[in-house]
Amino acid sequence: MTHPDALLSLSIAAVGQRIHRGTVHSADLVAAAQDRIARLNPALNAVLQLRPEAPREALEIDRRHTTLPPASVLAGIPLAHKDMFFRSREVTTFGAHRSFWQRATSTCAVKERLDQCGAIDLATLNMAEFAAGPTGENAHHGRCRNPWAPERLSGGSSSGSAAAVAARLVFGSIGSDTGGSIRVPAALCGVTGLKPTTGRVSSHGAMTRVWTQDSIGPIARSAEDCSLLLAAIAGPDHRDPLCARDAAPFQHAATAPQPLRIGVLEALIAEAESDTGRCIDAALRELAGHGAALYARDWSDIDAVHTLTEIAHKAESTALHDTQLRAAPDHYGAATRLRLEEGMLIPAVRYLQALSMRPIMAERFINEALKDCDVVALPTVACEAPYPPQHSGDSAVQGRLLARLTRYTKPFNYLGLPALTVPCGFGSTGLPVGLQFVARPFCEAQLIAIGRFYQRLTDWHDHCPELAAMQEKTTPHDLG
């Protein structure tokens, strides 16, 4: 009989097949996940609240598994999601002060679609306050810790999503990405994360962070598992006016393009810390050794794009919080409040200029960096997981840390392009490094196929952190 922890280390595709054959039961997976959360979460602080309905929902899937169509590969799979997605009659915290919590009257689009596939919504997960930070720190719910090194940052804002998947608490998670909030924690925690094209996934019923740059997407242990999750949640939705309606439907691509053409942003790789650059170079050599053609590419616009990104990002996020920020500033954590207050200083003219430049900069990136290439490659983060800053309220310290974590991710939210991060090795400290691929709009299938190709050549995505020292038989934190 397979040990429960070994079952939780299987891929979504593998465990889904076992559920469909009846050799594994969803109720047993839910019980195993709950037990593992009880043992590990007190040290990780990735899970905020277990859903009491999950065991009953799993039993219902087991009761009718023989009638489920083969396409329902997610049926019975325990997932858990960033706590910013509404579910009817349940409380969503947004990672914020209790005064901001909301009891939803309807269910968000992504959870509706996962429910239709029979996936089990096991728990809500920790996140940065209002998804406003790439570190994994939270003034209200505590810091989510990195499973590879609890003293290091997990990354954010989808911190709980990446940590829970890396620690094998769940098989996958849905997060959001406005400046790297899927890709940064996925890279620092050694898992796979996909930021889809802006508008590929409906934001109906999800918390808005920056409406022109938000993307909702999956975090899982492999590109294949990300593909299964994206297939479930992608598609038009008339309830979300910013959701793409005319894009070709997402379809799983079985193989990477042949020959695979990769544009390499060499200057950005050279900027990264030495261990990160070494891992990226080794990954690209591996791909080249199996037929990929590498082309040196330059992206001289990155600093200009960063400036434009920050203008739009700060203006929109502050607009969303302006009334509450003025009424109850003390209900915000210091770092979040500081970033929101900066948005009040941005003139409307600069914001509109930043928006008007967006399609121009996207076209230039596609025509220059992506010219004659299927994807471009660069690091996801310039370094391995850093230590938390000693003075988190210091604006200069925060600014340097944010720039260090998001320099290679934030521009692609502004440009609206899809990006995938995959584990590609470990630094000298034993912490994971992420390789990022960026593609043309709505080319997620191609991105995932390239990620799957790389993950067939390597096993970095199968590595699991050593968690024995974390195990404590303690009840998970209960928000009541």
Residue at 142 is within a domain: yes
The pLDDT, as a whole number, for residue 480 is: 36
Residue at 311 is within a domain: no
Active site residue 26: no
Residue at 332 is within a domain: no
The residues facing 78 across adjacent strands are 120
Residue at 165 is within a domain: yes
Residue at 360 is within a domain: no
- Which one of 26, 154, 157, 222 is the catalytic residue? 157
- Which one of 181, 202, 215, 222 is the catalytic residue? 181
Residue at 479 is within a domain: no
- Which one of 82, 111, 314, 410 is the catalytic residue? 82
d(CA 179, CA 215): 9
Residue at 458 is within a domain: yes
Which residue range(s) make up the domain with 67? 4-260+418-470
d(CA 304, CA 479): 43
Sequence-distant (≥ 6) Cβ neighbours of residue 98 within 8 angstroms: 140
Closest among 186, 181, 237 to 209, alpha carbons compared: 181
Q: What is the CATH number of the domain that holds 197?
A: 3.90.1300.10
Per-residue tens of pLDDT for the chain, all 480 residues: 578 899 999 999 999 999 988 899 999 999 999 999 999 999 999 999 999 999 999 999 998 876 665 558 999 999 999 999 999 999 999 999 999 999 999 999 999 999 999 999 999 999 999 999 999 999 999 999 999 999 999 999 999 999 999 999 999 999 999 999 999 999 999 999 999 999 999 999 999 999 999 999 999 999 999 999 999 999 999 999 999 998 878 877 768 888 999 999 999 999 999 999 999 999 999 999 999 999 999 999 999 999 999 999 999 999 999 999 999 999 999 999 999 999 999 999 999 999 999 999 999 999 999 999 999 999 999 999 999 987 655 677 777 888 899 999 999 999 999 999 999 999 999 999 999 999 999 999 999 999 999 999 999 999 999 987 676 544 444 433
The pLDDT, as a whole number, for residue 252 is: 74
Q: How many domains does the chain have?
A: 1
Encoded tokens for 152: 């290091």
The pLDDT, as a whole number, for residue 258 is: 87
The pLDDT, as a whole number, for residue 469 is: 67
Active site residue 274: no
E strand map for 156-240: 172-177, 192-195, 215-220
Residue at 269 is within a domain: no
Q: 278-307: per-residue pLDDT in tens? A: 999 999 999 999 999 999 999 999 999 999
The pLDDT, as a whole number, for residue 365 is: 98
For the entire predicted model, the pTM comes to 0.96
Active site residue 82: yes
E strand map for 126-256: 145-146, 149-153, 172-177, 192-195, 215-220
CA 375 to chain centre: 19
